[in-house]
Structure 1
């Protein structure tokens, strides 16, 4: 056994002994006070007489008063008023607490959304890179990797891209360039949709 385990065992034994002593003193004090109280009529008769009077004379009178319908009605109404007052007090303070919990919930939701959005963006970037690599491979080799439409579409897109690059040297008007770029993007998107359908099939 190493030194740390020995110290732990020693501390546990010490705490058990200390707990045993605390319990022993508590129980011995309880027993002593009970014996003194029960033996009080022998060494203090006036206390015994007053307790007897309280238990057998005053308590029955007091119990008859406490169990009367008027007293029960008053106590019941007081309990209802206290409960209603506390509920109004708690509801007036509760919107602050619920706002705090709601704000924490919104913050957690936003952080989860941002992390999931960043993960989705990373996946999209990876998929786009893989698609571009695959597209460049199919365009360069001209082979049919994913089907007839796939390689032909990639070749067309590659040719259009080269045409656009060549035409930029001649400096076309910006509106014409924008229109051609939008057409090209639309064609690429359609091609991606077709590739996705082919992959699913």
Structure 2
């Protein structure tokens, strides 16, 4: 089971590297790693588990955050309609996106960043993601709102990009023109 002790923190060189594709079909070890990423985000949202194991609640986790430089992410969250998005994906890729932008009005956080970094993070309002599940099934997800933001944040980890790289450092809380503000 992954705990906070397994999650590398801001400043670790692996967080700035581009992760390698996972060869298909994945090895048992890669399946186990991906499965444990999803297990962490699910457990971290369970109040008893998070207290018992000292887990910081999260809605997504990428393999580079546990110092595994492979293209794997796990996401577990609900959108504003109560639809659950629970995915563990190998080689996720954004295959299309809107021109329109969105951002979380509360800003973004990250399990690898131990401090609050205020500021709006511009993201695509709608994206289509392709990836392979633990069962070897190819999926194509059309996402908007919080799920779209979360997937972009996790896929960025696979490319060595941190959320705060996008914040306007002169005026971090200036609303992003023409973008949709997402409540969180």
Q: Same fold (TM over 0.5)?
A: no
Which structure exhibits the higher relative contact order, with contacts defined as CA atoms closer than 8 Å and separated by 6 or more residues? Answer: 2
When Rg is computed on C-alpha atoms for both structures, the one with the higher figure is: 1
Bigger fraction of residues in helix: 1
- TM-score norm. by structure 2 comes to 0.18
TM-score (norm 1): 0.17
